[in-house]
Chains A and B, each alone.
Chain A
Amino acid sequence: MSPALPSRDPAPPDGALSQLALASLTQRDFGVYLHVPFCAARCGYCDFNTYTPSELGGLDIDSYLKSMVREIACASRVLAGQAPAVRTVFVGGGTPTMLGSDQLAQLVAAVEKEFGFADDVEITTEANPESVDETSLRQLRAAGFNRISLGMQSARASVLAMLERKHRPGRALAAVAEARNAGFEHINLDLIYGAAAETEDDWLASLDAVTGAGVDHVSAYALIVEDGTALARKVARGQVAAPDDDVLADRYLLAEDKLTGAGMQWYEVSNWAMSDAARCRHNELYWRGQNWWGFGPGAHSHVGGVRWWNVKHPRRYSALLADGSSPAAGRETLSEIDQRLEEIMLGMRMRQGLPLSRVGSAAPQLMADGLLDPTAFAEGRAALTLRGRLLADSVIRDLS
């Protein structure tokens, strides 16, 4: 979740949505995000809305769970039975596996009870490799989770240390094997590249590790120095070098090369999958402007052109729900122009891109510059080339 919440309109205390927004429920897919704002320790680069036990000021996990269930009930009231069956559930954090498997199961069950699940529902949880074992993974699988995303980050101890990750390099791969044994159909490994201590050799080792692990999905993210993080302070003080864009570009090209070589295909600038079925449908739902409700402190939601976000601190979140109020801190109603901008901003990052009719007149020039794919262009679509992926933001600025 983003560190600084946008501020626009105040959200109504009951969380009510307009008829117009509600009308979109039957037109679009519906997903659920569940935010678990707990971590054992904060990593230096992380700006997510998460809290270590000492930062929670005595809030316990039970009251968090109780509040989550209250928000699920609140959502049910607001959506007034018009929400379709849930197609995707994604539990993110923080560290979801700071909760016990039974507690995660409880949350999923609460969602299913209120909204029902589609037959092909995708239920994902993020997990830190060190916080799961074969038993807990079996329990999760039994609770309905069918996809797991493991935060591996790197195969090298030196890089993990730099990122302040606690697990040992081999642990992520062991967790993959355990997850496969537990019956998970889809397994993702997250990688982060571009940390100051990372060499090209380190990065190749990480790529070799993930391609050898037999997972069907890899997310590879360039390290971002987010404002307000410990990493940003170190960079500002000159203790750590900021990631170099040219190095990041080289790393990205290596990732594309290795992952494609292992039979994967990119479907979003930072995501590769073995097959269409292996894509993360929950994330695709974000990128295609579908509806979702994000439960938990700081979680963002979107229904029919209305975006809102919850208060960030778990205590405040719990207090509002205990009072019978919506935990939303603010909301914005997207104008036509906003929606169009978002469509381009999100859609162009995906492999299929957008129909030319949805993007601006700069497309031919961008194709001539080698940033848009000529074949797709001939078929009436604006889609990024490999070089275009690396310059996606400037392509988006030109097209929007």
Chain B
Amino acid sequence: MRAQYLDRMDIERERGITIKSQAVRMPWTKDGQPHILNMIDTPGHVDFTYEVSRSLAACEGAVLLVDAAQGIEAQTLANLYLALENDLTIIPVLNKIDLPAAQPDTYAEELAHLIGCEPSDCLRVSGKTGAGVEELLDEIVRQIPPPTGQAEAPARAMIFDSVYDTYRGVVTYIRVIDGQLTGREKILMMSTGATHELLELGVISPEPVPAKALGVGEVGYLITGVKDVRQSKVGDTVTNQARPASKALAGYADAKPMVFSGLYPLDGSDYPELREALDKLLLNDAALVYEPESSAALGFGFRVGFLGLLHLEIIRERLEREFGLDLIATAPNVVYRVVMEDGTEHTVTNPSEFPTGKISEVHEPIVRATILTPTDFTGAIMDLCQTRRGTLLGMDYLSEDRVELRYTLPLAEIIFDFFDQLKSRTKGYASLDYETTGEQVSDLVKVDILLQGETVDAFSAITHKDKAYSYGTSMAEKLRKLIPRQQFEVPIQAAIGSRIIARENIRAIRKDVLAKCYGGDISRKRKLLEKQKEGKKRMKMVGRVEVPQEAFIAALSTGDESPGKK
């Protein structure tokens, strides 16, 4: 069996992370009694919390895996709390005990302290060597209650995932709660009322294996020939058309995009390909939203909403890798709610759409962040959170040398380089998790960047008033270095409304002439001129200023001057 068996995507395997939940069924015999275990491997990262919560809602118990070399991470807490909210039986497990750096005793204490059990209750396993795995499976059988659904009731199955497969169409992952689904019968999607022929029903063991029927508690898949995942909506209830259930199961809240970024093809003619690629990714990723937008600076593209930065990074990487696209992404931003003095409201997902006129209040999303760190770095983290407008909610010692810090932070402050900063200030030891907890009114302004008096939409940013100046000056300086000198002087300004807060000048070019052009030079120089004229055509015009696309990319690509940085 190959390593990282259930992480099927290249990106998952390379990064050693799980993005998509995977279901798997395995038979296990304890004390001569055969059992069937249905398990779901879930992601851990905060961006994919919604995947975790969906999966947990389909389960009776959870195995809480903690890396025995790293101990509890912030996401461990987050996922533990999710499991507790779902009243699940939790089995604490320390994994990777084969690693030389593993400290199972230390972390067993922490874990026990956290969930209120004895350190000896924490199982110790190694996925790599197989040590302790049998004991774990026995423990699952012993502790996790069997499913409680009614076998005779009309069928109700929860859709917890649906993915698009090029060859088979949409594959819908379900967990049967009540009754039974059998092959060759029509099913009904309870939210849409759509009926489908069941083409295939099966379990994953660990590859898809067709099955005649799925009964109470069983996890499996079904295929109906539908081509659009949106017709197999995650959270929907599947029932039998001939004998439908009267009441659907409680579904899931839709995942809400928290972070937006403009994605533009480097080559404008790739726009249709980008649209197609996004449409295809959407088939597998209900959390992705996008709509076309155009930028004077970058041309035609899409404003894309993501669950978080990792989600953004992964989508972007998949677009580039799987679809061969070269993309420019604008600096990510959160969603703002702007209330005007006349009471009207605007939802702003793109800084260039920030309303002008008399603004009464700007609301920004906030998160409750949990940071776990060795105590040595407490001061460094407090400094960081302070500069990011954080409010300390509390701190708890997990053990003598590890502490949990809880902060309220604006999401906007986290989505830039917060995580990198956190890692670099704590030598990589701190971990972060957060959940959105609402919004707050903040003193936020839009900073525009103007070239020769013209606003460059791609560089507009919404920042806290105290950080507007540093964003403006650093962006202006960066552009001065990136934009080639023109025939005339080009002022670069940063402005809040009509108030200029920073200014740089690109000095006019003084010499642009070949010294020599004699008989033998003419053909070569003409070709050079043709090439330059081609290059000129590819320049983006901001008013009369010619800006090479590379300058836009360079200005957007490095996160250094993002509004979040002090």
Contacts and interface: CB of A to CB of B under 8 A. Distances in A.
Interface of A: 1-2, 4, 6, 33, 221-224, 245-246, 248-249, 252, 269-270, 283, 286-287, 292, 294, 298-300, 302, 307, 309, 332, 338, 341-342, 345-346, 349, 369, 371, 389-394, 396-397, 400
Q: Closest 8 A-B residue pairs measured CB to CB?
A: A249-B510, A392-B513, A300-B520, A221-B515, A1-B520, A249-B511, A245-B511, A222-B515
Interface of B: 487-488, 509-527, 529-530, 532-533, 536
A397 B533 contact: yes
Contacts of A33: 519
Contacts, number: 102
A21 B388 CA distance: 74
Contacts of A391: 487, 509-513
A374 B522 CA distance: 29
A309 B523 contact: yes
Contacts of A298: 520
B526 A342 contact: yes
A300 B488 contact: no
Contact of A345 (B487, B512, B517, B536): B517
B512 A393 contact: yes
Contact of A300 (B510, B522, B526): B522
Nearest to A245: B511
Contacts of A400: 529, 533
A243 B64 CA distance: 66
Contacts of A249: 510-511
A245 B509 contact: yes
Nearest to B514: A393
B57 to A, nearest CB: 63
Given A345-B525, A369-B487, A369-B488, A394 B512 contact: yes
B519 A294 contact: yes
Nearest to B522: A342
B535 to A, nearest CB: 9
B520 A309 contact: yes
Given A369-B487, A397-B529, A397-B536, A269 B522 contact: no
A292 B532 contact: no
Contacts of B518: 283, 286
A193 to B, nearest CB: 9
Given A270-B515, A396-B529, 15 more contacts: A2-B524, A246-B510, A246-B511, A248-B511, A286-B519, A300-B520, A341-B529, A345-B517, A346-B517, A349-B517, A369-B487, A389-B513, A391-B487, A392-B514, A393-B532
B529 A269 contact: no
A346 B510 contact: no
Contacts of A338: 526
B403 to A, nearest CB: 50
A241 to B, nearest CB: 16
Contacts of A294: 519-520
Given A6-B527, A341-B529, A302 B519 contact: yes
A221 B516 contact: yes
Contacts of B513: 222, 269, 349, 389-393
Most buried by A among B487, B512, B523, B529: B523
Contacts of A392: 512-514
B302 to A, nearest CB: 34
A237 B442 CA distance: 52
Contacts of A224: 514-516
B128 to A, nearest CB: 50
Given A345-B526, A396-B529, A300 B511 contact: no
A245 B517 contact: no
A4 B519 CA distance: 14
A345 B530 CA distance: 11
Given A4-B524, A245-B510, A300-B522, A345 B515 contact: no
15 contacts: A2-B520, A2-B524, A222-B515, A224-B516, A246-B510, A270-B516, A298-B520, A300-B519, A300-B522, A332-B523, A349-B517, A390-B511, A390-B513, A391-B510, A400-B529
A29 to B, nearest CB: 13
Q: Which of B522, B530, B533 has the most CB of A within 10 A?
A: B522
Contacts of B527: 6
B560 to A, nearest CB: 26
A300 B525 CA distance: 13
Contacts of A1: 520
A294 B510 CA distance: 35
